[in-house]
Amino acid sequence: MAQRKSLRTSLGHELVGQELPEANIALARLEAVMAPNVYIVQTGMRFGDNVKYVQWDFPKTLHTVELMQITDVQFGHVMCRYDRVLEFRDWILAKPNRFMLWGGDMIDAGTKLSVGDPWEQIAGPQAQLYKFAEVWAPARHRVLGYVGGNHERRAFTYGDLGSEIARLLRIPYSMGRQAVDIRFGRHQPFKISLWHGAGGARTKGAVAQTLDRFMQQGDSQLYLMGHLSQPLIMPIWKQYRDGHQIRLQKCIGALGSSFLETWHTYAEVAGFAAHDVLMPLAVLEADGHWEVRLR
């Protein structure tokens, strides 16, 4: 706990007094730590800043591809687990075959109109945005897709904060849903659907129903959702016609928790179940096999 507190204080001190960071200084600091692109990406269905379809091609030199969902970070809240944020970022960077799919609510972006109060914020939304981008810039080349959540949309009177994060980090972003295809080995392609989620489901049954409705849409194999802060993995099988046969396709839906503490936040006040950080991790093998687990 001491380490978490100390790190939170350290990040807090860096943000205090930078409510409106001078653009050229903030961008120069960001550029200094930005990782370059490594792999080939193609995009489609572009609507302004939004990208609804993304395709990545990975070389045969990788034996496996690991895809971790990072969702509900709520960076900028005083009770964000900043030590866990850095832990997950550094774990991703530790091996070249690890990548991320962002699920929204990446910054807290609290305003006086939000649930909670402005005093729960380390700094204002713009300062949170720049610091978040700076923290994740060394791993930005590992972000394969990004969908916005309700916290990115808190600033709609100003604009979509997710679009601004994506612009700074040069990553593909969608304010709603995003389809991500991974071409690797015999996965041609491996299909993923991203959505932040919606509603206030609290019981496991209600969470599973929300996830199941999402999984009934589209033809993906992996469906990733956030928002409800209850980690969950749920498999189903979908039928499809193949010549004169009816075959089954394995589909898995998964939900990450949150990097926000339960205690002393609106989660405690609203009676949400306490949780730690658990994020879904999909592992693709070159021979076409794959699995999902929580880490």
Domain boundaries, the chain: 2-294
Q: What is the pLDDT of residue 123?
A: 87
Q: What is the pLDDT of residue 75?
A: 95
Residue with tokens 């609203």: 270
Q: What does pLDDT average to in each consecutive run of 10 residues of the chain (295 residues)?
A: 48 49 73 89 94 95 96 95 97 98 93 71 88 95 96 74 94 97 97 94 91 96 95 95 93 97 82 88 97 97
Q: What is the pLDDT of residue 31?
A: 87
Structure tokens at 76: 């900028």
Structure tokens at 85: 């944020």
Please tell me the pTM assigned to this model.
Answer: 0.89
| φ and ψ of 247, to 5 deg | -110, 170
Q: Which residues have CB under 8 Å from 20's CB, separation 6+?
A: 124, 126, 127
Q: What is the pLDDT of residue 19?
A: 47
Instruction: Identify the CATH homologous superfamily for domain 2-294.
Output: Metallo-dependent phosphatases (3.60.21.10)
Q: What is the pLDDT of residue 121?
A: 87
